[in-house]
Amino acid sequence: MLSYVLRSVFLGLATAAIVLVALPTIKARVQPFATPPSNLAELQVSFNDAVRNAAPAVVNIYSRQYLENDRTRLSTQGLGSGVIVSEKGYIITNYHVVAQADQILVALQDGRVAAAQLVGTDRRTDIAVLRVEGSSLPVIPQNPSYQAKVGDVVLAIGNPYNLGQTTTFGIISATGRSSISADGRQAFLQTDAAINEGNSGGALVNTQGELVGINTASFQQATELETYGISFAIPYQLAYKIMEKIIADGRVIRGYIGIDGQDINAVTARLLGNEHIGGIVVLGIDPNGPASKAGFSPQDIIISIDKHKVQGRQSVMDIVTDLRPGTTIDVGIIRQGKPLTLQVTIAEDPHRG
């Protein structure tokens, strides 16, 4: 009996030794238990640094409107937020925050209050630019190379219901949302961070405190539906570009060629070849616009602008609207299967924001 037990033990040890020699990765996978944190504080996640970096540059905006027959008596006072983006005192906010204002007051988080100058507005993008005078103004961190992605953590900072500066938390839920835009062209960021009355014009920032967008509306405000967790912001890059145009010209001057189009479908893209994926088919032409004068026809497929391949309808609109009126461009098209190049002289968009 003893010899049987000893033989079994020996065989078991020998088998274990053979397995460890033959499969050394097993040893590598056997790791000691991780040392537990000494206290729960090590497990906490905080965005305090991001808020401290960004919050001082987010201001409260009070837009006052006086009685028409008595300029000393206040009729209404609107509420919103804004973001200081320049040491020169430029502030980006929403157009609808200041649209009817006779006087605009800006309150900084350090207690300073100043009357703001309205530099200009752009209704199409719901952007307004203000300016205040002051020394050592806080400026929000900005990263022009940052690209918002679905799932990025973001914080919305503003002054909801005049409660005082408040920060809410969420993620980027979607990008390129245009369905709530009045003209279907405005591309919003969608977030589930709470944006309420008074948050409009405030900052949407990432976990570094860098400006991601300008908060503009909740889905409920836009549609009058009872919703939760659907809010929108204007992308930072677009807001900053609009601000620069307003500062330069006092308004936004957009290029215009006078076509309406849509992205080509997958079948058409395959027929044309992979090199033409991203093109758009022309559906309508303004009879008095530059495209009509240049000889465009319905069903033309635009594939390039100044030899640069286009990437869909939105990219064509972005390229054209950024061009100054009077600029001449070469537009590559395909008409009835044949490539052509048409020269178009950009006009100013008659549909001003």
> pLDDT digits over 40-63, tens only?
555 568 999 999 999 999 999 999
CATH number of the domain that residue 297 is part of: 2.30.42.10
Please tell me the distance from the alpha carbon of residue 265 to that of residue 163, in angstroms, as a whole number. 49
**What is the number of domains present in the chain?**
2
CATH number of the domain that residue 191 is part of: 2.40.10.10
Same domain, 160 and 191: yes
> pLDDT digits over 173-213, tens only?
998 876 555 454 567 899 999 888 889 999 999 999 999 99
For the chain, give the mean pLDDT. Answer: 84
Q: Between β-strands 308-309 and 328-335, what pairing exists: parallel, antiparallel or unpaired?
A: unpaired
> pLDDT digits over 276-296, tens only?
778 889 999 999 999 999 999
**Among candidate residues 152, 161, 157, 108, the one with its CA nearest the CA of residue 130:** 108
In a domain, 19, yes or no: no
Q: Give the residue numbers annotated as catalytic, written as ranges.
A: 96, 126, 200
> pLDDT digits over 311-336, tens only?
888 888 889 989 999 999 999 999 98
> pLDDT digits over 125-179, tens only?
899 999 999 999 999 999 999 999 999 999 999 999 888 899 999 999 998 876 5
**Phi and psi, residue 149, nearest 5°:** -125, 150
In a domain, 42, yes or no: no
Same domain, 261 and 200: no
Asked if the model's pLDDT at residue 268 lies above 60, the reply is: yes
Helix/strand/coil (H/E/C) assignment for every residue in 270-336 = HHHCHHHCCCEEEEEECCCCHHHHHCCCCCCEEEEECCEECCCHHHHHHHHHHCCCCCEEEEEEEEC
> pLDDT digits over 227-248, tens only?
567 889 999 999 999 999 999 9
In a domain, 327, yes or no: yes
In a domain, 92, yes or no: no
Range of the domain at 166: 153-233
In order of 51, 90, 137, 203, 352, the CA distances from 140 in angstroms are 10, 11, 10, 9, 30
**Banded model confidence at residue 77, pLDDT cuts 50, 70, 90:** confident
CB 81 within 8 A of CB 59: yes
Which of 233, 268, 294 is a domain's end point? 233
The HSE-up count of residue 141 (CA atoms within 13 Å, CB side) is 16
Stated pTM of the model:
0.78
Please tell me the distance from the alpha carbon of residue 270 to that of residue 336, in angstroms, as a whole number. 15
